[in-house]
Amino acid sequence: MEILKFGGTSIRDANLIKKVTNIVNNKKNKIIAFSAISGVTNLLSVFVQQIQDKNYVKSEKIIRLIEEIHIDIINNLISSTNFKIIAFSKVNSAIKFLNKSINIKLSDKIEKEILAQGELLSAMIIYLYFLEQNIDVAYIPALKFMKTNKDGEPDYKHIRSCLNKEIEKHQDCNMFITNGFICNNHNNITDNLGRGSSDYTATIIGSVLKAKKIEIWTDIDGLRNNDPTCIHNTNPISHLSYNEASELAYFGAKILHPLSIIPVLKTNIPVILKNTFNPMFPGTYISEFTKASGIKGISAKDQITTIKVRSAKMVQAYGVLRKIFNVFEKHQTSVDMVTTSEISVSMTIDNTRHLLKIESELSNIGDVSIERNQSIVCLVGNFEKNKTAIVSKIFNAIEPIPINLISFGASNINISFTVNIKDKIKVLKLLNDRILKNEPCLTLN
Ligand code: ASP
Ligand code: MG
C-alpha cells in the first residue's frame, strides 16, 4: 500500500485536479488523503471569527466565496449531469450548514464541524470526478476511522482497526480517497489534528497500514536548505533522516507538518516530499538513515521569547530545574531551547499566552528577565564528524551579529541559537553565502 497526500495548492483548480489524477493513476494500491482546496480552511477559520464578532455581513460574504470556489471547480471538472447534481448537492448541504451556524451560539463542536467542511468537500468532489472517469475508487471518510485520545494524540489502535474495516468493505478495490486534517476526538465529536495537518493524516495512515511509502505532494520541489521566504537561492534537500526532517519542520520549514514524522519514527517507511507542478523531480527523501554528513538545512522560527532565571541560591543546589520546569508544565507551555550555567537557566518559548503567570511564579525561584522578539535559527545535519570545525564555521560566518542563546550537544543533528528578530534575515543570508553554498553535494540542483 502507498499513501499519497495532496495539499490545497495541488488541487486549487480543475486542471490541477486532472494533473493529480494522472499522478495517482500510475500507482497501484493506494490511499489518497486530500487537504481542503487552497485557502478554504483559512476562509472557514475567518468565518468562525466573524460569527464570534457578530459580523454577519462578512460571514455571509465568506460563505458565498466558499460556495463559488467549489461550484467553479465542479463546473470545470465534472461533465455529466448526474455527477454534477450529486456534487452540487454536497456543496449545498455544506453551505446550508454554514448559513445555519451564523445564527446559533458557537460551541467547540460546531466550530470544528465548520473547519471540517473544506476537507469533506474537496475529497467528495474529487471522488465523484474519479467515478465519472471510471476509476475504480472507494471513499473512506476520515471520520469513520481517524480518532484522537484524551491527550489529543492519535488513537492508533482504534485507527488501525476501523481503517482496516473500512478497507475490507471494498474488496477488490485498490484506490481509496479520504480526508486529511479531520478526525473524531475521544468524545466522538468532530475535531482536527491541527492546522496544516493533512501530512500528519497521511503518515498516521501509513504507519498503521505499514505502507511501502508515503508521498506528500505539495507545490515546491522538496524541503529547502534555507528559508525560501527570506532567501532567493535556496536548494531542495535530496535526503534527510526522520530526525533531521522533524527538526527542520519544527523550527520553521512550512512544507511539512512538525508532527508528521512521529508516526513513522520507528518504521522504515520512507516519506517523500514531491511537487505536483514538477512531478518528475525526485523531491526530498526522508527515511531512517542519513547518508551524507555536514550541514543540510537551516530553518528559523520567529516570535520567540527568551526567559532567564538567575539565582545565586542555585549553586550546588538540586531540584532547581524541576521547580522551573514544573511552572511551564503547570501552564501547559512547551520549552524549545534550554541552556544552563551554575547560577542561571535560560529557556525559549513560542507560546506566550501564560507568560505573566509563568513570570510571576518563576520569580519565587530567582530573578527573571524576559526578552521578546527573538528568532531561533536552527542548523540541521549530521554533525557527528568534525563537530568543532562546523561550530567554528557557523560562528565565524555570522560574526559580529550578537547571539543570545546557543544550544549544541543535545543531539548530533541540531545546532540552534537565538538572535534578535531584526537580525534574522542577515544571519540566514550570511549562512547561505558562506556555508550552504559550499555544501553542494547535499542538494539536487
Ligand atoms: N486544510 C487544513 C489547513 O489548511 C489542513 C491542511 O491543509 O493540511 O490547515
Ligand atoms: Mg501543508
Q: Kindly list the domain boundaries of the chain, sorted by start residue.
A: 2-219, 296-436
- The DSSP result for 194-215, as a single string, is -TTTHHHHHHHHHHHTT-SEEE
pLDDT band at 212 (very low <50, low <70, confident <90, very high): very high
Query: Of the residues 197, 200, 203, 218, which should be mutated to test ligand 1's pocket, given the most ligand atoms within 8 Å of the CB?
Result: 197
Task: Assess whether the C-beta atom of 37 lies below 6 angstroms from ligand 1.
Answer: no
Average pLDDT over residues 334-356: 94
User: pLDDT (tens digit, 9 = 90+) per residue, 239-251?
Assistant: 999 999 998 888 7
Q: How far does the centroid of ligand 1 lie from the alpha carbon of residue 269, in Å?
A: 23
Task: Assess whether the C-beta atom of 195 lies below 6 angstroms from ligand 1.
Answer: yes
Question: Across the chain, what does the average pLDDT equal?
Answer: 93
3-state class (DSSP) for residue 264: helix
pLDDT reading at 146 higher than 70: yes
Residue with CA closest to ligand 1 atom 5: 196
What pLDDT is stored for residue 439 in this prediction? 64
Atom from ligand 1 closest to the CA of residue 8: 7
Name the closest ligand to CA 180: 1
What pLDDT is stored for residue 441 in this prediction? 44
User: pLDDT (tens digit, 9 = 90+) per residue, 22-75?
Assistant: 999 877 899 999 999 999 999 999 999 999 999 999 999 999 999 999 999 999
Residue 274 has which C-alpha cell?
A: 514531491
What pLDDT is stored for residue 351 in this prediction? 95
d(CA 61, CA 415): 47
Q: How far does the centroid of ligand 1 lie from the alpha carbon of residue 59, in Å?
A: 20
Average pLDDT over residues 208-227: 95
Task: Assess whether the C-beta atom of 196 lies below 6 angstroms from ligand 1.
Answer: yes
Of 290, 293, 296, 247, nearest to 270 (Cα)? 290
User: pLDDT (tens digit, 9 = 90+) per residue, 162-203?
Assistant: 999 999 999 889 999 999 999 999 999 999 999 999 999 999
d(CA 321, CA 164): 45
> Helix count (H) and strand count (E) of the chain?
12, 16
Of 114, 126, 119, nearest to 142 (Cα)? 119
What pLDDT is stored for residue 83 in this prediction? 97
User: pLDDT (tens digit, 9 = 90+) per residue, 365-390?
Assistant: 999 999 999 999 999 988 888 788 88
User: pLDDT (tens digit, 9 = 90+) per residue, 307-324?
Assistant: 999 988 877 778 889 999
pLDDT reading at 291 higher than 80: no
Backbone angles phi, psi at 399, to 5 degrees: -55, 140
In the numeric block, the cell 532565571 is attached to 309
Residue with CA closest to ligand 1 atom 6: 196
Atom from ligand 1 closest to the CA of residue 7: 7
What pLDDT is stored for residue 409 in this prediction? 77
β-bridge pairing 271-275 and 294-310: unpaired
What's the order of all strands across the beta sheet hosting 175-179?
A: 138-139, 175-179, 30-34, 2-6, 213-218, 271-275, 284-287, 239-241
Query: Of the residues 198, 204, 260, 276, which should be mutated to test ligand 1's pocket, given the most ligand atoms within 8 Å of the CB?
Result: 198
Task: Assess whether the C-beta atom of 41 lies below 6 angstroms from ligand 1.
Answer: yes
Average pLDDT over residues 298-311: 94
Task: Assess whether the C-beta atom of 197 lies below 6 angstroms from ligand 1.
Answer: yes
Q: How far does the centroid of ligand 1 lie from the alpha carbon of residue 182, in Å?
A: 9
d(CA 174, CA 213): 15
d(CA 51, CA 103): 8
> Model-level pTM?
0.90
Task: Assess whether the C-beta atom of 118 lies below 6 angstroms from ligand 1.
Answer: yes
Q: How far does the centroid of ligand 2 lie from the alpha carbon of residue 415, in Å?
A: 25
Name the closest ligand to CA 118: 1
Alpha-carbon dihedral sign for residues 261, 39, 116, 86 = negative
What pLDDT is stored for residue 443 in this prediction? 45
User: pLDDT (tens digit, 9 = 90+) per residue, 402-442?
Assistant: 999 999 877 888 999 999 999 999 999 999 999 887 664 44
For residues 204 and 381, the model is more confident at 204
Q: Do domains 2-219 and 296-436 have the same CATH topology?
A: no
Task: Assess whether the C-beta atom of 416 lies below 6 angstroms from ligand 1.
Answer: no
Q: How far does the centroid of ligand 1 lie from the alpha carbon of residue 181, in Å?
A: 6
CATH number of 2-219: 3.40.1160.10
Task: Assess whether the C-beta atom of 181 lies below 6 angstroms from ligand 1.
Answer: yes
Name the closest ligand to CA 35: 1
How many other C-beta atoms can be found within 10 angstroms of the C-beta atom of residue 322? Answer: 9
For residues 401 and 412, the model is more confident at 401
Of 20, 13, 71, nearest to 38 (Cα)? 13
Task: Assess whether the C-beta atom of 200 lies below 6 angstroms from ligand 1.
Answer: no
Least reliable range by pLDDT among 36-45, 64-73, 99-108, 111-120:
99-108
Class of domain 296-436: alpha beta
